[in-house]
Each structure stands twice: as structure tokens, then as C-alpha cells.
Amino acid sequence: MRSLVALAVLFLGVLVVACDKPVRTTAEAGTSCSSTVASYDALVASGGACTTDADCACFNGGVSQNTPCGGVSDKATAGKLGKLVTDYEAAHCNALMCAAMMCTPACKAGRCVNAPR
């Protein structure tokens, strides 16, 4: 019984340490969060050109109200957006929550889109 109690205490200690990560609001984080959002929005707006479906890729959201759930862009832009999402989360900025979505990248009329299923 003592072993079980000791194990439970150890587990709770690890849990508290693991969850003791500072979370900053966008206001507290200052320009790092807002500049990441601005860069993210600019990349989303400038990307998305394609010639074939293979040129397109899905990108994660969680950064900007403009694309809260992510979307589809060209592969190079999607890669850059992925790095910005990582930076945004690492800075402990307020990530937006979004339900899971299906993403099927396709090229239609020279623009990357999420093809309907």
C-alpha cells in the first residue's frame, strides 16, 4: 500500500512539474505574438499558387482569426506557416482552438484549395 501511495505522489509531482509551463496572453507576450500573427497572415495571403495538385499542402491554424483552422497553400508557404505555428506556440501565445477538419489539397484554376470530399 505504501508503494502505491509513493507512486501516486511521484506521479502527481511529475504532473505538476510538466504542467507548470507559463502561458502568456497575446498582450503579455507583446510584439512577438502580434508580429507572428502578422507574418502568418501575410504568408497566407501571398501563397497558394500552383500548377498541379502536388504543388499544394495543408497548413495548421491556431494563430490567426483569419484562418483559425488552417487551410491549403503551396508547399513552400505551408512549410513556412508550420514554422510560424511552432514559434507562436513556443512563445506561449494564445493559440486558437479549432475542431479537426479534413484537408485534401488540390490545385484548381492555379490556386491551392481544399477539395471537397
The residues pairing with 56 across neighbouring beta strands, listed in sequence order, are 74
Give the pLDDT band (50/70/90) at residue 17: very low
Which of 59, 52, 48, 66 lies closest to 112, judged by CA?
A: 48
Q: How far apart are CA 111 and CA 55, in angstroms?
A: 10
| pLDDT greater at residue 91 or residue 11 | 91
Q: How far apart are CA 45 and CA 28, in angstroms?
A: 27
pLDDT tens for 19-69 read 334 444 444 545 689 999 999 999 999 999 999 999 999 999 999 999 999
Instruction: Say if residue 14's pLDDT is above 50.
Output: no
Which of 65, 74, 80, 68 lies closest to 107, judged by CA?
A: 74
| pLDDT greater at residue 37 or residue 11 | 37
Looking at every residue in the chain, the average pLDDT score rounds to: 81
Check residue 43 and give its pLDDT.
Answer: 97
